[in-house]
Amino acid sequence: MGDLRVGLLGVGMMGRHHARVLREVDGLNLVAIADPGGDPHGVAADLDVLPDVDALIAAGIDMAVVAVPTAFHEEAALKLASSGVHTLVEKPIAHSLEAGQRMVEAFRDAGLVGAVGHIERFNPALQELRRRIEAGELGALYQVQTRRQGPFPARISDVGVAKDLASHDVDLTAWVVQSEYEMLFAQTAHKSGREHEDMIAITGRTRSGVIVNNLVNWLSPLKERLTVVTGEKGAFVADTSAGDLTFYANGTIPLEWDTVSSFRGVSEGHMTRFAFAKREPLRVEHESFRDAVLGKPSDVVTMEQGQRTLLVVEEALKAAAFNTVARI
């Protein structure tokens, strides 16, 4: 079988990286690029820049990557599904739950692979974290905390920080602990004068009983991408900016002071920073999407999973707006 013919819709800030990686992954052949805004980063090389998704489909593609603003995901995805094209859309899946559901159904009914680009699942630190949790190295899980903050990115205009960034944390939290959000409360803030929120704090619990805290904002000069998972044997800290994973073990020093030893707490133990292969997350994501299209085992994020993440984010926004607790 020859290489899969791939089309890319959108070559903006994220699309330019897709263009590079698609050209590097074995088994893929980037044959067409479309963007009504042209090619601002000069990534088309020897390819013509087509005007729209219809022209992309006409190029005869097997699979497509949609990296246009969220508001345009549904229209492009539905056209691709109706043309028999397997499709990966950037996160979030869509601008609304109704649009996302139409996308889920279109790809399911057509028997096509529909995927969502929740790239953090492919971060080497989180993949290593997930592997070690599954191996029982943390024991029972107690809590997940994520912090994702930094300055406002000028590339974003159509959604707030919840859908653009908190969707990362919602997806990775549920994936790392292998349990969906069951209930949550949230708070938002509008500090930069934009229509959409620029800060959100989510606190909740998964169905397995893990306590969750997600803090996300576009208001900090400090850029931070941390995931902390605490359990009975210690705590893992994943720095997804650097791809680093560190384990802080509970101490095992015996205590001779009866009053203190009767308190069943923990003490500081050894700290271990792990060494492991660090592959580019976008490359791993595209390899997973390729494998899914070929019918091979794959960790690709399905549209159904992307829709669930959008549901949690929407419920968080409603909980913040109406000062209520959401049960999902």
- Does 87 share its domain with 145? no
- Residue 267 reports pLDDT greater than 90: no
- Does 80 share its domain with 178? no
User: Per mean pLDDT, which range of 85-99, 183-197, 278-292, 301-315 is the poorest?
Assistant: 183-197
- Residue 264 reports pLDDT greater than 70: no
What per-residue confidence (pLDDT) applies to 251?
81
Q: Any idea what the CATH number is for the domain that residue 102 is in?
A: 3.40.50.720
- Does 105 share its domain with 202? no
Number of domains in the chain: 2
- Does 70 share its domain with 38? yes
Kindly report, residue by residue over 45-95, the tens digit of the pLDDT.
999 999 999 999 999 999 999 999 999 999 999 999 999 999 999 999 999
- Does 101 share its domain with 188? no
What per-residue confidence (pLDDT) applies to 260?
52
**∠ CA 203-167-81 to the nearest 5 degrees?**
145
Q: Say if 130 falls within a structural domain.
A: yes
d(CA 174, CA 145): 12
- Does 263 share its domain with 175? yes
Q: What's the Cα-to-Cα distance from 79 to each of 40, 73, 74, 106, 163, rounded to whole Å? A: 25, 10, 9, 10, 23
| Mean pLDDT value across residues 116-129 | 98
Q: Which two tokens stand for residue 217?
A: 């904002």
- Residue 195 reports pLDDT greater than 90: no
- Does 109 share its domain with 196? no
Q: Say if 304 falls within a structural domain.
A: no
What per-residue confidence (pLDDT) applies to 254?
58
Mean pLDDT value across the chain: 94
- Does 125 share its domain with 108? no
User: Per mean pLDDT, which range of 38-42, 182-186, 313-317 is the poorest?
Assistant: 38-42
Residue whose token pair is 């003490």? 267
Q: Any idea what the CATH number is for the domain that residue 138 is in?
A: 3.30.360.10
- Does 175 share its domain with 320? yes
The DSSP 8-state label assigned to residue 302 in this structure reads B
Residue 246 — pLDDT band, cuts 50, 70, 90? very high
d(CA 176, CA 133): 8
- Does 33 share its domain with 157? no
Residue 1 — pLDDT band, cuts 50, 70, 90? low
Q: Say if 97 falls within a structural domain.
A: yes
3-state helix, strand, coil in the chain (%, to 5): 35, 30, 40
Kindly report, residue by residue over 126-144, the tens digit of the pLDDT.
999 999 999 999 999 999 9
Q: Say if 305 falls within a structural domain.
A: no
Q: What's the Cα-to-Cα distance from 299 to each of 16, 110, 257, 296, 302, rounded to whole Å? A: 23, 21, 50, 10, 9
| Mean pLDDT value across residues 3-19 | 96
- Does 267 share its domain with 129? yes
pTM: 0.92
Q: Say if 70 falls within a structural domain.
A: yes
Number of Cβ within a 10 Å radius of residue 293: 22
Q: Say if 71 falls within a structural domain.
A: yes
| Residue range of the domain that includes 246 | 121-278+310-327
Kindly report, residue by residue over 156-173, the tens digit of the pLDDT.
667 899 999 999 999 999
Q: Say if 254 falls within a structural domain.
A: yes
What per-residue confidence (pLDDT) applies to 105?
98
Residue 305 — pLDDT band, cuts 50, 70, 90? very high
| Mean pLDDT value across residues 144-163 | 86
| Mean pLDDT value across residues 214-228 | 96
Q: Say if 42 falls within a structural domain.
A: yes
- Does 247 share its domain with 214? yes
